[in-house]
Amino acid sequence: MRLSQAHFVIQRVLRSLRELIWTHVLTAGTMAMTLFVFGGFLLLQENLTGLLKGWSSQLQIFAYLEEGLGDSELEFVQRQVRSYPEVEGVRYVSKDEAWESFKTDLGAQSGVLEGLDREILPSSLEITVKKSYRQRASVADLAGRLKEVKGIREVEYPEAWMEKLSLLLLGVQWTKWIFGGFLFMASLLIVGSTVKLAIMARRDEIEIMQLVGATDRMIKAPFVIEGMIQGLLGASFSLLLLWLLFLFLSMRLPPSLGILIPGDQLRFLDLWQVSFLLLLGWLLGAVGSFFSLRRFLGA
Amino acid sequence: MIQLFRVSKVYPPNFPALTDLHLQIEKGECVFLSGPSGAGKTTLLKLLFRAEEVTEGQIIVNGRNITRMNGAGLARLRQEIGLVFQDFKLLPYMTALENVALAAQVIGLSVRESRSKAFHLLRELGLKDKHGSRPPSLSGGEQQRVAIARALVNDPVLVLADEPTGNLDPDMADETIRLFLKIQEQGTTILIATHDTRLLRKFNRRVVMLQRGCLVGDSKHGDAGAGS
């Protein structure tokens, strides 16, 4: 396409944007809603992944020891635990240290411990798992083996939470694609209808262009460009809405949730995800226009 | 310039619009295509600029077989042909100048070149003062001259006119045909479909007569019925 023809195409695009402004706004708005829902899931997934990663990085297994272990037996248990390939580090927590730590955690309410025996809490081993083994299955397997070690009475780790969060994350991932897929199809139909309207509005002009020898590319290019512009505008608007929602939620996060998700750890979409949403909008507009043109103007 | 070999066109389900047509038109000729309504004049013109495809036969235009042409080839063919219609086919929201320049712009001329060429043609066709007017404010004759200017703006080798005088009064119709003859003098081949026998008698050019899709007379071969 020559420069003068490109100029002509751009002129037609601008004229269409001017003349059918509300149709274009409506289509871009619909695309924005689709991408907002999709982006919302993306945002949720991003933060749940962050949360899960945060928890995983702090993942420790607590192995409570039997009463009355001697120094050599304690040494033996620790050596045995360290020999497992999944184990990164082992720290012994004496009854005394456990008592102090518990007291500190209770803070102002530590008075309830008065009168109790300092040795009520069992001594334990805090076992840190290597990064590469911080999956649910590996941790469960290690916990099972630890239970078999002579001298260890009980083993605990945050299995239930990890499992629930993993399931939730999986759910969000699938919902994002399934729900997003449906909305994507709906948006394609809406873009198609807009292109149909634009074709109807310019039917005479298209016919004349065909008669005077305009190439197919020349006739179709403005519609595809309009679709791309609608898609990009829709995606930009959805990002703006997502950003506002993110700000609102960050500021209004209930304090009770702060223990689970510290406010400063909430994350907005990264550059890659923002680019992905913009690309998705662009693609949605282009593909919608392209298929509509094939349908109404022929291949 | 134009060669038709055993050309037939059948519209579904089974309506023969043209049957076994043989025709040759030389470069620079001006030919009237005549016959009653439904004779196949418009269908023949549509086959020549490939708005329709032949059912059988071959068509050569300007040395190229256009029978199975499509895509870029079709666009190129149409850039070499100027088309004029009875209903003018002008865009009402564009000025006369813009209507003419549109045809030049789509084939790649710059806005300035297209407008300059369009203005020059409108001036030649006596519409110098009307270049800024929109078609609804022009008379039928003026609109047809704008349409002719658009047909000529890309320097076509062939002009096809489908009932170009159908909406004009006799004086304006004569004026329009004179304009076509002037264009022919510059070497352009002209094919005018008309059922107005007055024009055929008055301008005494080659007449090809169609009836029910069949060629029934050609004044070039001295056939009776043609040109009468």
CATH (domain of A126): 3.30.70.3040
Answer yes or no: do A267 and A148 share one domain: no
What is chain A's mean pLDDT, rounded?
Answer: 82
Q: Which of A120, A140, A157 is the last residue of a domain?
A: A157
Answer yes or no: do A172 and A272 share one domain: yes
Q: In a 10 Å sphere around its CB, with 0-12 CB exposed, 13-18 middle and 19+ buried, how is residue A151 labelled?
A: middle
pLDDT in tens, B42-93: 999 999 998 888 999 999 998 888 887 777 888 888 889 999 988 889 999 8
Residue in B with minimal Cα distance to A218: B106
**Domain that includes residue B120, residue range:** 91-155
pLDDT at B10: 93
CB–CB contact A204 B91 (8 Å): yes
Chain A nearest CA to B228, separation (Å): 33
Please name the member of B78, B105, B111 whose beta carbon is closest to the beta carbon of A211: B78
Answer yes or no: do A91 and A174 share one domain: no
- What part of A 6-25 touches B (C-beta under 8 Å)? 7-8
Q: What is the mean pLDDT of residues A227-247?
A: 92
Answer yes or no: do A99 and A193 share one domain: no
Q: Which residue has the higher pLDDT, A177 or B146?
A: B146
d(CA B190, CA B204): 14
Helical residues (DSSP H) of A85-158, grouped into ranges: 95-106, 136-148
Phi, psi dihedral angles at A166 (to 5 degrees): -60, -45
Residue A216 touches partner B, C-beta closer than 8 Å: yes
Number of domains in chain B: 1
Answer yes or no: do A115 and A256 share one domain: no
Q: Residue A239: which of A205, A278, A272, A200 has the closest Cα?
A: A278
Asked if the bond preceding B13 is cis, omega within 30° of 0, the reply is: yes
Q: What is the ipTM of this complex?
A: 0.84
Residue in A with minimal Cα distance to B89: A208
Residue A214 touches partner B, C-beta closer than 8 Å: yes
Answer yes or no: do A145 and A185 share one domain: no
Number of domains in chain A: 2
Answer yes or no: do A22 and A47 share one domain: yes
Name chain B contacts of A208, Cβ cutoff 8 Å.
Answer: 89, 91, 102-103
Q: Is pLDDT above 70 for B14?
A: yes
Chain B nearest CA to A273, separation (Å): 39
Provide Rg for chain B, Cα atoms. 17
Q: Which of A102, A130, A157 is the last residue of a domain?
A: A157
CA torsion through residues A255, A256, A261, A262, sign: positive
Chain A nearest CA to B76, separation (Å): 6
Residue in A with minimal Cα distance to B93: A205
**Sheet hosting strand A152-156, strand order edge to edge:** A87-93, A124-129, A60-65, A152-156
Answer yes or no: do A80 and A197 share one domain: no
Answer yes or no: do A168 and A136 share one domain: no
pLDDT in tens, A185-206: 887 887 778 778 777 877 888 8
**Domain that includes residue A14, residue range:** 3-55+162-297
Q: Which of A96, A122, A157 is the last residue of a domain?
A: A157
Answer yes or no: do A153 and A94 share one domain: yes
pTM for the complete prediction? 0.67
